[in-house]
A and B are shown apart, each in its own frame.
Chain A
Amino acid sequence: MRARAVSIPLTLLLVLVALGFLFPALWFLLSSFKPGSELFSLPLSLFPRTWTLSGYETAWTRFDFWRYFYNTGLVAVITTALTVIVSALTGYAFAKFRSWWLRAFFLCILATTMLPTEVIMPSTFAIIRDLGLYNTLAGIIVPSIITATGIFMFRQYFRTIPDELLEAARIDGASEFRIFTRIMFPLARPIAVTLAIFSVQWRWNDYIWPLIVLNDPNRYTLQLALRSIVGADNINWSVLLSASVISLIPMVILFAVFQRYIMNADINSGLKD
């Protein structure tokens, strides 16, 4: 391909838009290092005049962050593991077996992206309660396991694997389950990793399920804890800013480590949950 000339106006536009996107987060991050007295004192300055971690210290002592991190992390990790396994199993069945009920069920699964159940909150709540899952972390984990996106990703991937491989393994006498665990699932490892990253992000940032299911502040996830600060009549901004920044740290690490997977994720389906 011919090298094209760099267009200065277009590059400038890109830089300006990027700065526009960066700025809200930057202003918020820098503000979190200001002492409480400086947050509202005019003139406002971009950089703190005195850098301090006092907001963080207050946030850390006032709130039981370890507990929220533990709750959120536990939910994210367990749900993600289960999501990957269930999505792989289901996507594999959709890709490699044919029958009318599999097709029907596949359409049902796709419909879940269009019609989110969390919208029917009252009856979802009643079901959670009647299953004895109210106010338990399991109550957030179990309903979040199936995602149409995950199933769809695995289905698309397994369809690209030739049927001959499957037939050969069958002729060699491998059981169907063994074919899946020893041949098919290992082949789909890139999909598993991508889905796992997305799933951790969904679960870490999820708000509506924890809101429906959890009542006891000791079981709160980070998002609920943050919401309890922002929902107060008098928002303690100093604490809120630092608490929010703390809640982002695991996601930033996730992104830094798996950047390549996230940005190159071949998303042609609704990767959104």
Chain B
Amino acid sequence: MAETTTAAAPSGTTAMRRRTRPGQTLVPLLFIAIAFVLFCVFFVGPGALGLYYSFTDYRGVGSPRWVGLDNYQRLFADEQFYAVLGRTLTYTVLSVPVHVVVALGIALLLTSAATRFQTVARVIFFIPWLISPIVAGVIWRWLFGENFGLINYLFTVVNLPTQRWETDGNLSLLVLILAGTWGGTAFNMLLFIAALKNIPKSYLEAAEIDGATSSQRFFRIVLPLLRPTMFLVVLLGTLGAMKEFALVQALNGGGPGTQNMFMVQYIYRTGFERAQIGYASAVSMVLMGILVVIAIIQMRFDRREDLA
């Protein structure tokens, strides 16, 4: 990584002097001590224990019995697991592009010199950020209630057939995507606004003088310069969608039936409601594996310089 070069180059002499100071190991060790202990207990601990449990038949009481790869064999033969995994991936693939486009579009409108009411609009776009996923789920459930919701009522007013927002799996997923976008936009929008403000005005002005149209300016200058932010938004959005849980709990509970059950809910259901801790741990490990792969793929595309 670039870490070593930046560390060595500007402060070579100070680094030399520091090495001779006594207590240079002890001091930073004390500074990170609390974080290190917490990291070990609440991050490494559950990870290692989860891996161990995934090879046992632990049910929460008694002592775990080693069963080797049984849980994983069961898992990969379990139709419900594939259904859950597929649904989670579907949700991720559908929602992330929507999140990106909506947040970027709003950020562009809010930073454009040609729009008014930006301050008020910005506050409005921020409202969903205050609202917890549980309450956001309640809000959208109320809006899209099949028998009582406003949306279906409006459909009847304009003589359209009412839609089965709750009992049709795909429509229910659609509402979930809308609700997720609504809740996640404020944060992504902030990231995009910060990045847009960092684009030197001179670039765009120079392009304009050279006769570039506004769409050319956007696709040739703005979008390439937004690349790092874009990757960050996509990465965080993907990870967030893969572990979506609270919003679903409040919005449709994974329903209708189990049609919209996602990975985390499946882990919760098998691990806590059915106390199959070994099996649920195996599912967790698979999910972690997927998240690692996603993170690695995205990191390869985007070498974040700010980490150096």
Cβ contact within 8 Å between A14 and B49: no
Q: Which of B30, B124, B130 contacts A251 (CB 8 A)?
A: B130
> Which residue on chain A has the smallest CB distance to residue B195?
A268
Which residue among A97, A252, A262 has the maximum number of chain B CB atoms within 10 Å of its CB? A97
Min CB distance A54 to B, Å, is: 17
> Which residue on chain A has the smallest CB distance to residue B36?
A105
Residues of B within 8 A of A230 (CB): 134, 137-138, 141, 249-250
Residues of A within 8 A of B263 (CB): 119
> Which residue on chain B has the smallest CB distance to residue A231?
B253
Query: B278-302: which have CB < 8 Å to A?
Result: 280-281, 284-285, 287-288, 291-292, 295
Cβ contact within 8 Å between B117 and A86: no
Q: Is the interface of B mostly helix, strand, loop or mixed?
A: helix
The number of chain A residues with a CB under 8 A from chain B is: 102
> Which residue on chain B has the smallest CB distance to residue A265?
B190
Which residue among B117, B135, B139, B268 has the maximum number of chain A CB atoms within 10 Å of its CB? B135
Cβ contact within 8 Å between B28 and A97: yes
Q: Which of B27, B109, B140 contacts A17 (CB 8 A)?
A: B109
A174 at the B interface (CB under 8 A): no
> Which residue on chain B has the smallest CB distance to residue A229?
B138
> Which residue on chain A has the smallest CB distance to residue B3?
A103
B306 at the A interface (CB under 8 A): yes
Residues of A within 8 A of B49 (CB): 123, 126-127
Cβ contact within 8 Å between A270 and B34: no
A98 at the B interface (CB under 8 A): yes
Min CB distance B116 to A, Å, is: 5
Min CB distance B296 to A, Å, is: 9
Residues of A within 8 A of B139 (CB): 24-25, 28, 244
Min CB distance B65 to A, Å, is: 15
> Which residue on chain B has the smallest CB distance to residue A19?
B124
The bracket for how many chain B residues form the interface is 35 or more
Cβ contact within 8 Å between B131 and A18: no
A136 at the B interface (CB under 8 A): no
Q: How far is the CA of A17 from the CA of B122 in the complex (A)?
A: 11
Min CB distance A114 to B, Å, is: 4
Cβ contact within 8 Å between A21 and B14: no
Residues of A within 8 A of B25 (CB): 99
B241 at the A interface (CB under 8 A): no
A173 at the B interface (CB under 8 A): no
Residues of B within 8 A of A272 (CB): 187, 236, 240
B221 at the A interface (CB under 8 A): no
Binary per-residue interface labels of chain A (230-267) against chain B in the complex, 1 for a CB within 8 Å, 0 otherwise = 11000001001100100110011011000100110111
Cβ contact within 8 Å between A267 and B190: yes
Given contacts A122-B271, A227-B134, A259-B123, 4 further A-B contacts (CB under 8 A): A89-B34, A93-B32, A122-B50, A269-B306
| Chain A to chain B contacts (Cβ below 8 Å), 12 pairs | A7-B115, A15-B117, A22-B124, A110-B307, A112-B39, A115-B47, A127-B46, A177-B30, A208-B246, A248-B131, A255-B130, A269-B306
